[in-house]
Structure 1
Amino acid sequence: MYDTDTTASFDALSQPRQDSATNPSLQVIRRNGAAVAFNPEKISIAMSKAFLAVEHGQTALHPQGHKSSRMREQVTVLTQTVVTALMRRLPSGGSVHIEDIQDQVELALMRSGEHDVAKAYVLYREKRTSERASQPHDTPQLHITIDGTKQPLDIAKLIEMVAEACLDFGSEVNPKVVVEQAVRDCYDGISFNEVRRALILSARSLIEREPAYNYVTARLLLDMIRAEVLGESVSHAAMQSRYAEYFPHYIKQGVDAGLLDQRLAQFDLTKLCQAFAPDRDFKFGYLGLQTLYDRYFLHIDERRIELPQIFFMRVAMGLAINEIDREDRAIEFYNVLSSFDFMSSTPTLFNSGTVHSQLSSCYLSTVSDDLDSIYQAIKENALLQKYAGGIGNDWTSVRALGSRIKGTNGKSQGVIPFLKVANDTAVAVNQGGKRKGAVCGYLETWHLDIEEFLDLRKNTGDDRRRTHDMNTAHWMPDLFMQRVSENAEWTLFSPSDVPDLHDKFGSAFATAYCEYERRADLGEIMQFKRVSALQLWRKMLSMLFETGHPWITFKDACNIRSPQQHIGVVHSSNLCTEITLNTSATEIAVCNLGSVNLVGHLTEENGKLALDQTKLKATITTAMRMLDNVIDINFYAVGSARNSNYRHRPVGLGIMGFQDCLHALRIPYASTEAVEFADCTMEAVCYQAYSASSRLAQERGAYSSFKGSLWDQGVLPLDTLILLGDARGGHVDVDRNSTLDWEALRTRIQQHGMRNSNCVAIAPTATIANIVGVSASIEPDYQNLYVKSNLSGEFTVVNESLVTELKVLDLWDEVMVADIKYYDGSLSNIDRIPTELKSLYATAFEIDPSWLVEAAARRQKWIDQAQSLNLYFAVPSGKKLHDTYMLAWQRGLKTTYYLRSLGATSAEKSTGSGGELNVVAPLMPESKQCLIDDPGCEACQ
């Protein structure tokens, strides 16, 4: 079938470099162990020859003998696909075996539908493998380079090193398999650091078949980190003493390098050293530790100077820096962090204890309707984003397109061009390279520019009036939702004609709005537009599905249930829709976040798992103190943010690991039991958070604007459901039952006050959940087997709980892995899996979104702020979207977040024998779908 020239070209992938189209940081390991520079052109040549071989040259050539344009285009696209897959796995360079590249070529051909070419390619590979096996050959002796000299690679020592990482996992893991696979990717003269990386990549490739390799990979990475930081390989048994020896040196070099706050050197370091718990290093999975290494650990000239426990101690010291008994408090904070019971948000982890202590997560601002204020707001966005703050801007006050400008007697270009400037500012300020700047613009539904606001994320139209990188959200009054329900008309105004609507909510808003409509009818207001409320709503839902924006949030629920309505108005939420704080021209709202690991607080009682109330109280008491401390320690780039935060002292305690709890309790997400669990757990979390804030008020004093608040009036978040129902002229249909002694807490709060105006908000927790190794926030499982992509690379994620259950049933094998991959992480079509497990491990798109809304409504009744609530639609329809979002409004939810629909790519529907670089394809975002680990979301968590 193949002529000599064609067959020879299949091996061109492993030939030495012959042109400059190479990636010098990536090396290809040939079968004889030699290393050559990676050359993408060789992939293109091999694919071209494969097409020619199959097509026998009859249709692939022009008369002049050149490749057809169609084939050239296909080869170019497929080559780029292969190169991209390789570089995703090795973004910093490294070595890849020739067989791995050929695996990628095969997968690319199959994905593109070139099945004949792929089949020929597979047959050729099998033929060449047989030929090589029949020929006598010597296994090349590999050498490693240490300090410039070569010495033989000791396979036995590698197995011994990997075996230490495999301790505690028994027969589930095999160090020899890890080493054999790694050695295949080594070349003669390789450095020992590269050998370490090869071992890590080898172990990582086995995670999908055995989740225990997740922790083996993490331990191999830990060995590499310890060698980098300490300058030599150190066994785990020696780490207790090495932590103590290294810690004072770390503090000194960090201070000398201008990284650490000089006050850290004033702590009793000897006392802190005694608190280190090196065994907690083994709590990490691979994704968590790699994320810390790549994005959180401090470094000097790209060499990390932090180890995991030192990192947590640095964060704890930074948060305890103003405490009287600071060593004891630092140890207390260290213990909740390092034990994964609670995790501070990303900005706190980034910056605590450093010279730039910007620890707050979220900033909310109102943009006033004049040029100075607009550009001042954009400048403040840049300053706040510089140190990892996420921004929510309220743009409703800015006049609409065509409105008169008194100063020039001209007409306004509206709010859209300024949103474009805000978008580009977020792109320009990328938070020191750690993650993208992130901002969300909010606009009320009556704004005359609302229809163009809907189109901001479209990929068509005038690009000068598009914001491809900025999030957008609606700020909807109840009156609009009522008009939608009634299929009535809705009137759009310019805020320059109706300036007071921005600051009104509830019945006061409805009265004023109807009066403006009357004045418009009389000709007293000339600039307005009448539209069908239902048609506008349908367009909102259509754009939400098409582009993922604008998100839907509810103005009146946020304001009527706000404990701070006595001193201001909530004009928007934040970047991730969980913060609901007052803003004005003189106050930028600030919130500090952190989340309780809910699954870490389950305990066994009478043979059953239940929430450990005692441990939960202890964790939240410490966490609330940490969050309150942030307010006083925090670096404020903007004075109005500092003044607001000192005056109101809001914090946002959240949760993560909700789905893990349901798995542990064997409760399907789509069930009444899950809704009840959401209710009782959130009641417990909120009760302890409000109690802790009141105790802090008794110790430190109440926040300055406490007097007159709903707290002061004895109105707790549960009570505000009555206020919302009254404002809507009807009942808000949410269960009102409670189990804890709220009356006693009410009395305590009225007696001692609250330290914080707001206490609870459920953020997305994407990255900190990765660090801890639990399910994010209140999210259902996305898939049971998939690849997560973030700024640290790509990571295979396997549902460990599911694997454990399948092992008990003797169902976990290669075929099961292949089946789960084939069905994109879903179990529903795999016949041999019991129905009970299919229900328990249903994935996000298999759960009716109404269950997510019902669970969120039960949480919302206890929460004084809001929650980031993603809604998943496998097959969205206009009716389903309408019913779900209408249900969210009727249940009294304050906000919703992303609408997520199924992406175009999914788990690769093929199998391999191990070691392949892309046996599971990564989840790729579509325009209508949020990234699974959106760095923007991480401005909150």
Structure 2
Amino acid sequence: MQAVATSTSESTMGVRPAAAPEQRDAGAFQGYQIIRRNGAVVSFEPNKIAVALMKAFLAVHGTQGAASASVREMVEALTDAVVRALMRSRPGGGTFHIEDVQDQVELGLMRGGHHEVARAYVLYRERRAQERAKAGQAAEAALVHTLTVTDRGQRVPLDEGKLQALIESACADLGADVRPEPILAETRRNLYDGVPIDEVYKAAILAARTLIEKEPAYTRATARLLLHTIRKEILGEEATQAEMAQRYAEYFPKFIKKGVQAELLDEKLMQFDLAKLGAALQADRDLQFDYLGLQTLFDRYFLHVDEQRIEMPQAFFMRVAMGLALNEIDREARAIEFYNVLSTFDFMSSTPTLFNAGTRRSQLSSCYLTTVADDLDGIYEALKENALLSKFAGGLGNDWTNVRALGSYIKGTNGKSQGVVPFLKVVNDTAVAVNQGGKRKGAVCAYLESWHLDIEEFLELRKNTGDDRRRTHDMNTANWIPDLFMKRVIEGGDWTLFSPSTCPDLHDKIGADFEAAYTAYEAKADRGEIKLFKRMPAKDLWRKMLTMLFETGHPWITFKDACNVRSPQQHVGVVHSSNLCTEITLNTSDDEIAVCNLGSVNLAQHLKDGVNGKELDLDKLKKTVSTAMRMLDNVIDINYYAVKKARDSNLRHRPVGLGIMGFQDALYQLRTPYASQAAVEFADRSMEAVCYHAYWASSELAAERGRYSTYRGSLWDRGILPIDSIDLLAQQRGGYVDVDRSMTLDWDALRAKIARDGMRNSNCVAIAPTATISNIIGVDASIEPCFGNLSVKSNLSGEFTVVNEYLVRDLKKLGLWDSVMVMDLKHYDGSLRRIDRVPDELKQLYATAFEVETQWLVEAAARRQKWIDQAQSLNIYMAGASGKKLDETYKLAWVRGLKTTYYLRTMGATHAEKSTISAGSLNAVPMAGGAGGLSAMEAAASQAQAAMAEAAPATDIKFCAIDDPGCEACQ
């Protein structure tokens, strides 16, 4: 492969390379440099990457094959991806070693599916490395002894002993496989004469992070090196871990005072006993972080003044704790209690709470739900509310069902309505425009009920074809589906679409009442009393819903009646939609904007050793949940509300959303495959315990602080707990509910407790996606299965290699963890399925998301849903998707009583072929419970799947709007 290189800018054999990013914006790369292997430092020229990639394709495909426009476009796209990855790793400018660039080229080729080219490129690099070694060109270590560094404006010799001691301390107590020597060698390789001292420490961090894929424990060594940089920046000098207990106590009161003086922190924080709180900080908890978690906090969460951080990790947790304890009687004791659950990673508040607790503008809530009225005043009031809430808040869920359909009569103008879609385009653009001062993009989901006459056009909002004025490329959409529609689909009936202007009461009716009113309107249409309607087979609309869901990822499938019939608050309103992430189910109206405050228990931290291995630690879970519920309840009173309707609603009903994360990590500890009945049972038992203790804690808070104001008449007041409300759903549906009803805890005792003391919160439990906060504490998000045992996560802080430490531990025991295994995991997108030497037991335990049969996701979610008073963000993973399988999956979700589902994740054909022995064997076991598959959808779904084959590299997935680096909604 003589044509492959990264050190030349020449084109080859008459083929002009694709335009590199620098040709479009040359100034974007100022401040970036390249270190050559001889130690010379030169400017960063992305065009050379394009040349190297073109030569790689030439070497494999020949001149004719590589000269096509498609290959040149591919090279340009790959170049852009490589440059973006490099710049994300050093967002403030910096120096890359030539090997770093080549690593990114190799990764880009692999992730782009160009495996032949990547293989040739790897072999070429290895051969060149051997040639350089033979020629003695790799002996750069001798230069290090003469290196000088720039420290505070002066050139001084590099203190190698000090650097070595720092790296050795970062590796201490991390096991025999984490050694300082390779970090030190790689750091030296990336230094040049006169390098700024800060760049030396940065080089050490970058050197350590390159080793993570080979030994995941290096992630903690990397975090410790970053911790050294953080301490140096904030304290103004270096401090060892042994010194930090004393240094934290001294620094903390100064930090609070500085934050108040800078008008960042609430002046009330100065009223705390800061010495006592400073003494309570546990410096050793800094060592829990992995690199992704600490870098995320450093870049996005820690307070700063004039671009300089003033907040260290334990001070961050205490600041949040203080912000949540402002109204407590014994504030110091409660702050320490809250600090302890946060800093031990037992529980984590949502991102808005972590951002803003204790600050002067303490907007702590994650989710807002609104209903849009059917007049211009109401519509533009809703747009204004979206803008204000997006400016200060988290994710938005808008209910648009009230708004009249296209063609409806407008009395005021004697004209006809343009329907919902044009206004949704404005909502989309508002979300883009109002982006919280550049901190994140606005995040909105529009909901529309399935009988609305605009539903067919609503389904197509996210398509990339058609009139772009009637498309919303930046916002999310969701179907709000009544049970009657699902029954018509299953029973082969027709479905009639109406405008809400001719049947306004359907919007607020649920269950049997909705069915009676709806059939009456159908009769009116048959008699000619309603002119504006459309009738079709229900299956046709269902088919289009699923086809659009597959092709565009939207609209999501959510179920109106399950959300309402099982809502504890059905006596004072209607749930008209969910939120951005489909886990919040609260009433909305013209007068109320629903608000929910989120936080999540880390299940992986709530296991203990039992007789037969690990088991759920119910005592610890009870304690954590009790503290967490108090923290969430406090948010309601401390919170800043940008809109009065939101404040009124939240103080009236006091809903909160306690969730879970680390479910997959807990299964690893239990040695339980996700795709197993044992995992379903654990989902059941763990959620039962979380909900039981959450409801108990809310009742305890009611005894201490009083019941929420609309408690009287609620399901709680009537002695009907969430598990009991399944019977109400079955009654309303007339069947079509098949849910396990088993239980292990004393729910009668809880009923008696609530009858005596009431409830502090109308709603208590909701499982959010936790995309960001799970990164902070280093566990798998929410209830998600592992996406890949070796993967790359991308966010504002750069790209992070994430390796499954549980898997590595098991492979080491079997003597199977080596460089070949690393390469195999890279090639197979983090999957073990095709790696023959791995035992089947481990393949089952460490099966990735697309290897878990879709049925198991739904069954586990159904077991959780029976206990939850709100809902859960449930992503559906499906390899080899077909119309029949989509149909069966979502019907099963409905029959199992799920309230909502979230994204549909499908795997392209090329990834399915690469990751499994036989085509279609990834999560392909047929599911029970489906009725009447949609064979007509098969061809369309297959075509869409082929078109999407390369759309989602399995090593780099964005799980939701939240995992978009620009978004913080709902955690």
State the TM bucket, normalised to the shorter chain. Answer: over 0.9
Deviation, 1:6, is 12
Change (3 A) 1:268 1:605: same
1:933 pairs with 2:963: yes
Q: Which residue of 2 aligns with 1:234?
A: 239
> Among 268, 272, 278, which residue is 2:277 paired with?
272
**556-565 vs 126-135, greater mean Cα deviation:** 126-135
CA drift at 1:26: 1.4
Amino acid corresponding to residue 670 of structure 2 in structure 1: L
Q: In the alignment, what sits opposite 1:87?
A: 87
Mean Cα deviation higher: 772-781 or 45-54: 45-54
Residue 260 of structure 1 deviates from its aligned partner by: 0.2
Match of 2:483 among 478, 481, 489: 478
Give how far 1:757 is off: 0.4
Stretches of structure 2 that go unaligned for 5 or more consecutive residues are: 916-951
| Separation in structure 1 between the aligned mates of residue 610 and residue 699 of structure 2, nearest angstrom | 30
CA positional deviation for 1:294: 1.0
Give the match's secondary structure for 1:939: coil
Equivalences for 1:468-617 in 2 at 5 Å? 468-606=473-611, 608-617=613-622
Q: CA deviation at 1:86?
A: 2.3
Residues 281-318 of structure 1 deviation map (CA, whole Å, 9 limit, x = unaligned): 11111111111111111111111110000000000000
Counterpart of 1:535 in structure 2: which amino acid? D
Closer, same or farther: CA 49–515 of 1 in aligned 2, 3 Å: closer
The residue matched to 2:31 in structure 1 has which SS? strand
Q: Quote how far apart the aligned CAs of 1:79 are.
A: 3.6
Give, in angstroms, the shift of residue 71 of structure 1.
7.5
Counterpart Cα distance in 2 of 1:810 and 1:424: 55
How far does residue 934 in structure 1 lie from its aligned partner after superposition? 3.9
Q: Aligned partners of 1:567, 1:601: CA distance in 2, in Å?
A: 37
For residues 871-929 of structure 1, the C-alpha deviation after alignment (integer angstroms, 9 at most, x for no partner) is: 1001101111110100000011111111011268989999xxxxxxxxx9884459xx7
Following the alignment from structure 1 to structure 2, what is the Cα–Cα distance between the partners of residues 300 and 629?
28
RMSD: 2.9
Question: Which amino acid letter does the alignment assign opposite residue 675 of structure 1?
Answer: V
Query: Are the equivalent residues in 1 in contact too, given 2:790–2:955 (CA < 8 A)?
Result: no
- Using the TM superposition, give the Cα deviation of residue 557 of structure 1 relative to its aligned residue in structure 2, in angstroms: 0.6
Displacement of 1:94: 1.6
1:31 aligns with 2:37: yes
The farther-off stretch of 118-127 and 681-690 is 118-127
1:756-795 matches, within 5 Å, as: 756-795=761-800
Q: Distance in 1 between matches of 2:184 and 2:165?
A: 10
Report how far residue 763 of structure 1 moved.
0.7
Q: 1:522 to 1:905 in 2, by over 3 A?
A: same
1:916 is aligned to none
SS in 1 for 2:824: helix
1:402 counterpart = 2:407: yes
TM-score by length of 2: 0.90
CA apart distance, 1:433: 2.7
Could you tell me how far 1:746 is from its partner in structure 2? 0.5
1:824 is matched with 829
Query: Match for 2:639 among 609, 634, 639?
Result: 634
1:719 is aligned to 724
Contact 1:54 1:117 in 2 (8 A): no
Distance 1:299 1:413, change over 3 A: same
Distance 1:534 1:73 in 2: 41
How many angstroms apart in 1 are the aligned matches of 2:118 and 2:598? 53
Distance 1:803 1:529 in 2: 58
Is the contact made by 2:962 and 2:970 (CA closer than 8 Å) also made in structure 1?
no
Listed as ranges, the matches of 1:729-744 within 5 Å are 729-730=734-735, 732-744=737-749
Higher mean C-alpha deviation, range 673-682 or range 130-139: 130-139
How many percent identity over aligned positions?
67
Residue 166 of structure 2, aligned match among 161, 165, 169: 161
Deviation at 1:387, TM superposition (A): 1.9
Q: State whether structure 2 residue 884 is matched by structure 1 residue 879.
A: yes
Instruction: Output aligned runs, 1:151-550, within 5 Å.
Output: 151-550=156-555
For residues 716 and 537 of structure 1, the distance between their equivalents in structure 2, rounded to whole angstroms, comes to 32
User: In the comparison of the two structures, how many residue pairs are matched?
Assistant: 921
Q: Which residue of 2 aligns with 1:150?
A: 155
Q: Structure 1 residues 561, 387: closer, same or farther in 2, change over 3 A?
A: same
Q: Write out per-residue CA displacement over residues 217-272 of structure 1, whole angstroms, 9 at most, x where no aligned residue.
A: 11111111111111111101111111111111111111111100000011111111
> In 2 relative to 1, CA 905–777 (structure 1 residues): closer, same or farther, beyond 3 Å?
farther
CA distance 1:20–1:463, shift in 2 (3 Å):
closer
Task: Judge conservation of contact 1:587–1:640 (CA < 8 Å) in 2.
Answer: yes
- Residue 398 of structure 2 aligns to a residue whose secondary structure is strand
Residue matched to 2:131: 130
Deviation at 1:333, TM superposition (A): 0.6
Structure 1 CA distance, aligned partners of 2:302 and 2:908?
33
Query: Contact 1:54 / 1:120 at 8 angstroms: preserved in 2?
Result: no
SS in 2 for 1:253: helix
Change (3 A) 1:96 1:764: same
Write the letter of the residue equivalent to 2:235: L
- 1:741 positional shift: 1.1
Structure 2 equivalent of residue 99 of structure 1 = 99
Alignment partners' CA distance in 2, 1:437 and 1:901: 26
| Distance of aligned partners of 1:238 and 1:83 in 2 relative to their CA distance in 1, 3 Å threshold | same
1:540-585 deviation per Cα after TM superposition (whole angstroms, max 9, x unaligned): 0011011110000100011100111111101011111111100100
Residue 114 to residue 550, structure 1, CA distance change in 2 (3 Å) = closer
Using the size of structure 1 for normalisation, the TM-score is 0.93
Compared with structure 1, are the counterparts of its residues 60 and 576 closer, same or farther at alpha carbon in structure 2 (3 Å cutoff)?
closer
Change (3 A) 1:109 1:468: closer
Cα offset, 1:68, TM superposition: 8.5
SS in 2 for 1:413: coil
Aligned-pair CA distance for 1:734: 1.1
Deviation at 1:432, TM superposition (A): 2.9
Cα 1:8–1:517 change in 2 (3 A) is closer
Contact in 2 for aligned 1:686/1:863 (Cα 8 Å): yes
Q: 1:156 deviation in Å?
A: 3.0
1:43 matches 2:49: yes
CA contact (8 A) 1:173 1:210 kept: yes
Query: Partner letter of residue 97 of structure 1?
Result: H
Q: Within 1, Cα distance between the matches of 2:619 and 2:536?
A: 55
Change (3 A) 1:254 1:904: farther
Deviation of 1:940 after TM superposition, in Å, equals: 1.3
Aligned residue for 2:452, secondary structure, equals coil
Query: 2: CA distance between counterparts of 1:796 and 1:472?
Result: 32
In the TM superposition, what is the alpha-carbon distance from 1:820 to its structure 2 partner? 1.6
Distance in structure 1 (CA, Å) of the matches to 2:725 and 2:820: 53
Q: What SS class does the counterpart of residue 525 from structure 2 fall into?
A: helix
Deviation at 1:174, TM superposition (A): 1.2
Offset, 1:939: 1.4
Secondary structure of the corresponding residue to residue 218 of structure 2: helix
Which residue pairs with 1:913 in the alignment?
A: none
Cα distance, 1:155 vs structure 2: 2.9
SS at match of 2:723: helix
SS at 1:854 equivalent? helix
Q: State the shift of 1:669 in Å.
A: 0.9
AA aligned opposite 2:135 = S
SS of the residue 1:566 aligns to: helix
Task: Verify the 8 A CA contact 1:648 1:704 in the aligned structure 2.
Answer: yes
CA distance in 1 between counterparts of 2:560 and 2:340 reads 39
Distance 1:705 1:107, change over 3 A: closer
Distance 1:932 1:395, change over 3 A: closer
Q: Which residue of 2 aligns with 1:914?
A: none
1:494-550 CA deviation, whole Å, 9 max, x = no partner? 000000000000000000000000001111111000011101101100110111100
